[in-house]
Amino acid sequence: MCRLFAPRTALAIATLFVLSSAAPAQTSNCAYTFTWTKYDFTFCVSQYGTLGMLQAPIGVDHLDPANPIEGYEFFFSIEGNNNFFGGCQVTNLADGCFPAAAAFTEPNGPGTLPLIADDGTTKTTFTANPAQKQVVITTAVNIGPVKGAIFLQVERLGVFQPGMNATFASTGFGPYAVSNYGVRLTTENGCFGNFPGVPPGFNSSAIPGCGLKNFVGDGTMFAIRNALGAITRTAAVRVEYTVF
């Protein structure tokens, strides 16, 4: 079932369809957990294919341990149509995003990486560099045979160091948030940015375009990948979340 939402100014005038209208599910946040005691590093993936926990040192959370906010949103346009369409898979947004459970595969065997989550529209691949305390997430959206699709944008975002009065800034390679420890977002194939506070509900308001701000408090970091073409059906963005 599709739902219509108010315009979002981040992509000019936009009318959005989400993938599901089911009520948000409450879970323990972790369906798959990966731990390296040698490197004092652990993270988990939720049943939705989102990052459910990130700890380094082990026991120190960099996402909200009760209500982590992390995941992806996508938008696309159709030639001759002034609207934008899209969907989202982000946990614990205020409103408008209702993530659906994903199917998982572990091509190298149970308990190993990569871990691949498939929610029907998007495949999200999780890998890690534990010695660097880094999670690598590749989000690949395929909107299928949509006639006249000419623009597709995929965005990966997360809220880090919530409630810790963190300092948000950038090294030029990507935004970071620092309280007692820091988390940096980098990307190999997109642009990036940050903004104060948590993401707005998917059915209203705007997420700013790529750009960096310096501020103190709660904040969101993100990476965006755009695809343009006469027949645009796929786009992928890779992000690295690194604890330092």
**Rounded Cα–Cα distance for residues 19 and 48 (Å):** 13
Question: Residue 8: its pLDDT value, please?
Answer: 37
Residue 114: asked if its preceding bond is cis (omega within 30°), the reply is: yes
pTM of the model: 0.86
Question: Residue 22: its pLDDT value, please?
Answer: 30
Question: Residue 207: its pLDDT value, please?
Answer: 58
Question: Residue 75: its pLDDT value, please?
Answer: 87
**Rounded Cα–Cα distance for residues 113 and 149 (Å):** 33
Question: Residue 25: its pLDDT value, please?
Answer: 37
Q: Which of 167, 177, 152, 137 is nearest to 79 (CA)?
A: 152
Q: Is residue 213 a contact partner of residue 194, using CB atoms and an 8 Å limit?
A: yes
Residue numbers in the chain where pLDDT is lower than 70: 1-28, 202-208, 230-231
One-letter amino acid of 207? I
N-terminal to C-terminal alpha carbon distance within the chain: 42
Question: Residue 30: its pLDDT value, please?
Answer: 97
**Rounded Cα–Cα distance for residues 226 and 191 (Å):** 9
Architecture of domain 32-243 in this structure: Distorted Sandwich (2.70)
